[in-house]
């Protein structure tokens, strides 16, 4: 509980970067506060394991809809799937400030026509195999094009690298949230944000925030 409280306190500090709210998906119980949760590893209760929808590069999930992806379980030495969903985006200066603060080692100034995007997501740990220290929210992630392994905009490929901004918080049940960040062309209309281990079950989301 001390570790969880520590990350919830970090969430209050980081709220300066996240001023906007985000609607939750209908019928899902997450946190009592309906606004976009600004913490990097916050835990909220859940009454039941959410129902996940199938997804693919041609069937991208929107913000708030649950998919499924694989996460490695060291104690089991194998992968297990868990529900995951995007809960909101920030872009531009707010996203850039988050990257500078938490991943200064990987920060790069956006080239002309590009902008930083930060995406928040939740995983549901109910029924997920646990190590003795619990599980964190860290997930492998990258960008792809609908018809190509590499993302592109206006016929030009760009980097599919996605940075992890999630802290080291762990939990044994409930919802655990994390954040990702990536550079996106300002004119991009479609890009696949892929969560989960390559070669295992993955969840495909629209990685372009609504303007």
pLDDT in tens, the chain (211 residues): 333 333 333 333 333 333 333 333 333 333 322 233 333 444 555 557 788 989 999 999 999 999 999 999 988 899 999 999 999 999 999 999 999 998 989 999 999 999 999 999 999 998 888 878 888 889 999 999 988 788 988 788 899 999 999 765 788 888 889 999 999 999 999 999 999 988 999 999 999 998 6
> What local confidence, expressed as pLDDT, does residue 66 receive?
97
β-strands 156-157, 152-153 pairing = antiparallel
Per DSSP, the residues of 71-82 read EEETTTTEEEEE
Alpha-carbon distance of 162 to 209, in angstroms, equals 15
C-alpha dist (Å) from residue 208 to 10, 125, 143, 192: 27, 26, 11, 8
Q: Would residue 145 count as lying in a domain? A: yes
> What local confidence, expressed as pLDDT, does residue 174 receive?
85
Q: Would residue 71 count as lying in a domain? A: yes
Cα 174 from chain centre: 16
State pTM to two decimals. Answer: 0.76
Domain that holds residue 96: 2-206
Alpha-carbon distance of 130 to 6, in angstroms, equals 21
Q: Would residue 119 count as lying in a domain? A: yes
**Strand, coil or helix: 155:** coil
Q: Would residue 41 count as lying in a domain? A: yes
| Structural domains of the chain, count | 1
Determine the longest span between alpha carbons in the chain, in angstroms. 49
DSSP run (H or E) holding 102: helix 93-102
Q: Would residue 94 count as lying in a domain? A: yes
Structural contact between residues 148 and 190, judged by C-beta atoms closer than 8 angstroms: no
Q: Which residues contact 112 (CB under 8 A, 6 or more apart)?
A: none
> What local confidence, expressed as pLDDT, does residue 27 receive?
34
Q: Would residue 211 count as lying in a domain? A: no
Q: Would residue 80 count as lying in a domain? A: yes
Structural contact between residues 59 and 38, judged by C-beta atoms closer than 8 angstroms: no
Q: Would residue 74 count as lying in a domain? A: yes
């Amino acid at each position: 509980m001390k570790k969880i409280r520590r990350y919830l306190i970090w969430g209050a500090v980081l709220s300066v970067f996240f001023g906007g709210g985000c609607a939750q998906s209908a019928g899902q119980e997450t946190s009592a506060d309906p606004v976009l949760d600004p913490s990097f590893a916050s835990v909220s209760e859940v009454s039941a394991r959410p129902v996940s929808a199938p997804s693919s590069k041609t069937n991208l999930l929107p913000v708030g809809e649950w998919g499924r992806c694989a996460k490695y379980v060291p104690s089991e030495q194998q992968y297990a799937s868990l529900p995951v969903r995007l809960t909101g985006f920030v872009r531009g200066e707010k996203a850039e400030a988050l990257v500078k603060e938490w991943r200064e080692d990987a920060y790069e100034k956006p080239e002309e026509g590009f902008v930083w995007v930060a995406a928040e997501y939740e995983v549901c740990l109910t029924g997920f195999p646990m190590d003795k220290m619990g599980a964190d929210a860290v997930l492998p992630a990258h960008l792809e094009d609908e018809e190509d392994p590499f993302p592109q905009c206006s016929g030009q490929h760009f980097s599919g690298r996605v940075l992890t901004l999630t802290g080291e918080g762990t939990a044994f049940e409930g919802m655990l949230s994390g954040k990702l960040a990536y550079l996106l062309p300002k004119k991009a209309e479609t890009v696949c944000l892929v969560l989960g281990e390559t070669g295992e079950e993955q969840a495909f989301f629209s990685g372009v925030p609504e303007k």
